[in-house]
Every structure is written in C-alpha cells, then in structure tokens.
Structure 1
Amino acid sequence: MDVPGHGTIKGEWDLRGSVDDYLGNFDFKGKRVLDVGAASGILSFHIEKQGAEVVSFDLSENFDWDIVPFAENNNEIARSERRSHLRKINNGYWLCHQAFQSKAQMVNGVVYDIPRSIGAVDVAVFGSILLHLRDPFLALENAAALAKEAIIVSDISPYRKFTSKFKRNPRFMPRSISPDGITDGWFRLPPLLVQEYLGILGFKKSTIVWNNFKYGERIRPIYTIIARR
C-alpha cells in the first residue's frame, strides 16, 4: 500500500493500480458496503474513496483464526502466535485509517457470527477470505443476511490456466503428511461452486471475471464473482 505520510508499505500482494479489477469494477458510489476480512484495509479505503459508506469487519486478538489443528502441532502455541499476528494486522488498519482520514467503521468478530447490529448493507465483499475458512458457506450465509443487493467474492485459483476441472471441484489444501505446511488455509474453492453457494443464498444473477495479480515475485490468477439478488 502507498500510505500517506509513510510511503510504500510492502506486503505479500501488490494490488496497486488494479483494485478495481480485483473488485470486478463494481460501482460502489452511494452504497453501504461490508468488507469482510478487511485486514490492513486496502479494500475498505479504496471502496470508501469511490463514495461508499464502509463497515470493515475482521478478527481481533480476542478471537481465534481457523487454524488447521494438525495433531502433531502445538495448537495452543499456534493460536497464541496467530492472535499476536492479528494484533499487528489491527494496528496496521488503524494506522492506515488515520493516514487516509477514513470514516470507515471497524467491527471485530468472527465471520460465522457477523453481528446483525451492523444493519443492512447494499454489498458484502469477500477479498481472498474464503480460502482461510473451515466453513466458507456459513460465512457467506452470515453476510447474505445483511446484503440487500450484491456479494462480491474474489479468490485464488491454483492454476495459471483456468481448467474446467478446477472450475467445478474444490481442492482441500492441508495435507496430513506435512503438518508443518499450510495451517491457515483450508480450501481452493472453484468459482462455479461459489456461484452455487451464492445462488442458494438468493444471489442467482452472477458473473465471473479472471485477472492476474502480483504476489511477491509471482503472478497469481484470481477470479472475481459479482452475484446479485
């Protein structure tokens, strides 16, 4: 992110100049938007610049990440380390919130119990969040209870070529033979499956677009679904 007063802050992903593509070039002007899994706030602050009222939603250090509970690992230590990491993420959000002079509201909690007190929103955004969730359908269901107009889902494809096999079949990411591997990722969810999830929840009119984005020194394909009621 290019943060006023702080310069360029490096991260794993570089969405600068391509956030609109990442969000499916949706018109957010005049909308009330729920940014689920806001992290450093890059999507929240960008959407706010488009003329939207934004509610950022994310875990805080008072909540647990959906870590993969490998039997070989000390999961209490992993949980403690993740909470420490969440504290840094939250601090980063508030630093950027001040730097961008944002008016976005932050609500902390777990995605499986998004507070109804947030009230109705026009749009809910899931920016590369579903892969980190043990129950992605329940997360979408909670957001759907608040979203009146649309849900936008951006998520990662494991392939550079968008094979028909992946478009329909999910991939379970953890592997029992490598407990020291991925502990914060659960699924690579194909776009046609996510479309079905959203259709079940009442968002039956949807489109899929594909784009490439910079992840470190690599280019990674990401699909974006815009689903409307």
Structure 2
Amino acid sequence: MQHTRQHSFYTACDKAGKQVNKQFYWYHTIDLGNDLVTPGVFDYRENIGKYCFPENMTGKSVLDVGAATGFFSFEFARLGAKVTATELPSLYELDTFPGQKKNDILKKAEKYSNIYLYEQSSELNLEYLYKTMLKEPFEFCSKVLDIPIERKFVTIYNFSEETLGKKSFDIVFLGDVLLHTINPLAAIASAAAMCSDRLIIAQHLNEDEYNIPILQYTGGQYPDDDVSAWWKPNFEWFSQILLKLGFKSIEITGSFDDLFIPNNHSERKTIIHARR
C-alpha cells in the first residue's frame, strides 16, 4: 500500500513538472492540490477535527514544535495564524539514549528505510538524512502550497525569546514530540514557558487505570529496541505537571486511532488542551 501511494505521488509530480527527491522521508500526508498528495506514513486529514483547534486563528501566534513535513504548520496558517515552526538544527542534536552514539541513528534509519523511501539511498549519512527527513520535505510543501512559514532550527530544550524571535506565543503545539525526548519534563517546561494562552499536546498515553502520575518507559532493553522514542505518560502525569507549570485547566478534548500506514498498526492518540 505504501509503495503504491509513493508511486502515485511521484508519478503525479513528474506529470506536473515538479522536481522532488525520491529519497525523501515523508512523515505527514499533505494534499498539495492538483492530485499531489504526499505519501506520509501518517494521515491526519480525516481526524483534524479531533484536535479541537480554534476555527479562526486570525491574529494568533502559533509555535509548531518539531513540525516534520509541516502538515500542522500549514493547517494553522490556513486558519489565519502567524506560524513559527521549529526543527532540530541537525541530527547531531537528536536525543539519544545515554551511552548510544549518533551512528545508531543511521543504523535505525537503514533498518526502517524500506518503509519510508521510494528509492533507497547510497549516500546515507547524518547530513543527508537530515536534509531528506527534516529540512527539504517541509520546504517542498511550503513552496508548492505557496504558504511561507517562518522556521527556527533549535532544540526544544533551548527555547527562548532569543532563539524563537518572540517572547511568547498564543498557542504552542506539541504533536508527538515528548516521546522522542530523553528528558520530557525539561522539554514540556521549556515549551510551556513560551505559551501565553493554550498548550495543545497530541500523545499516545499510558491508559492503565491508575490515579497516580505515571511516566512509562517504552524504549526496551537493547540498543535497537526503540525508534528514538522512550516515554508514554498517563493523563494524570500531564495534569499534575501542567498545573505546576502554571496552567489553570487541563482537559482531554479528543482522541482517535492513530494509524501507521506502512504496517497498518494503530494506537490510540489523545489530544490534551491546557489553558493559562
């Protein structure tokens, strides 16, 4: 199925005269118009309403943290927001488990490349992987959609007025970010410090029925057990942490089955809104 989607996209690009690297890693499925639909491994279009974004964001500033291919950045812009999208400065800044080396990232990329890539790459290094995974797919979509987005290349731990160009944002969006951080408490605190009104989090939660805050480790015991993902908090963890960080109300606003298209595996994703 995934290869068919990739073939359809690249064929449509060729017909439309759009030059695009066939070694891009497409995280998000994005409708670019004129039958061009990126073959992302996730497709959030039918579930966008579950995020309960404000219907009109005109005049609002939005920080999209770890924007990847940019689906949510472009959605916020369509709703009228002034969007700032963040991305890692390089893959050397990607969190790794203590003791692991950056080359482990390449090993994981090689392991899963047949899922993501239409054409396999013979030039797999951290610099090339960064361009084809995090930098250029976003740029391609932005150009085709004619939606310019301000991008800041900074890790979530280093958010500040100096690095982001603003003292705060009306809305801060964390879509599947915290699971990829070694220190999720420091990460969420850094993002919260930049939020003046609403923090929106999309996350797979630990749904065991405990009334205590839980931060479940999911990274396994062997170096290749994880896909740079380590944590699954429960709602009580988010609730207590966000209250302590100064938010007044924390609520679950929606959830849906989050499908990973290449293997047809789904997991429940929960949307949390925290308000100042």
Q: 1:8 is matched with which residue?
A: 37
Q: Which moved more, 1:214-223 or 1:4-13?
A: 4-13
Q: Which runs of 5+ in 2 are unaligned?
A: 1-29, 107-124
Distance 1:76 1:48 in 2: 34
Q: 1:225 is matched with which residue?
A: 272
Larger Rg: 2
Q: Which moved more, 1:79-88 or 1:212-221?
A: 79-88
Distance 1:33 1:63 in 2: 26
Q: Which has the higher contact order (CA 8 A, sep 6+)?
A: 1
Residues 193-215 of structure 1 deviation map (CA, whole Å, 9 limit, x = unaligned): 11222111111211113222322
Q: Is residue 235 of structure 2 the alignment partner of residue 191 of structure 1?
A: yes
Q: Which runs of 5+ in 1 are unaligned?
A: none
Q: 1:174: how far off?
A: 1.7
Using structure 2 for the length normalisation, give the TM-score: 0.73
Distance 2:203 2:67 in 1: 14
Higher helix share: 2
Q: CA RMSD in A?
A: 2.2
Q: Aligned letter for 2:203?
A: D
Q: 1:40: how far off?
A: 0.6
SS at 2:224 equivalent: coil
Higher strand share: 1
Distance 1:212 1:166 in 2: 24
- Runs of 4+ in structure 1 deviating by more than 3 angstroms, as ranges, are 25-28, 79-84, 165-168
Between the two proteins, what is the percent identity of the paired residues? 21
Q: 1:79: how far off?
A: 4.8
How many residues align? The count is 221
Q: Which moved more, 1:9-18 or 1:164-173?
A: 164-173
Residues 119-153 of structure 1 deviation map (CA, whole Å, 9 limit, x = unaligned): 12101000011000011121222222221101001
Distance 1:12 1:79 in 2: 19
Q: 1:56 is matched with which residue?
A: 85
Q: 1:225: how far off?
A: 0.6
SS at 1:67 equivalent: coil
Q: Is residue 74 of structure 2 the alignment partner of residue 29 of structure 1?
A: no
Residues 36-81 of structure 1 deviation map (CA, whole Å, 9 limit, x = unaligned): 010111110011111111000111326421122456xxx2422565
Aligned counterpart in structure 1 of residue 104 of structure 2, from 58, 78, 85: 78
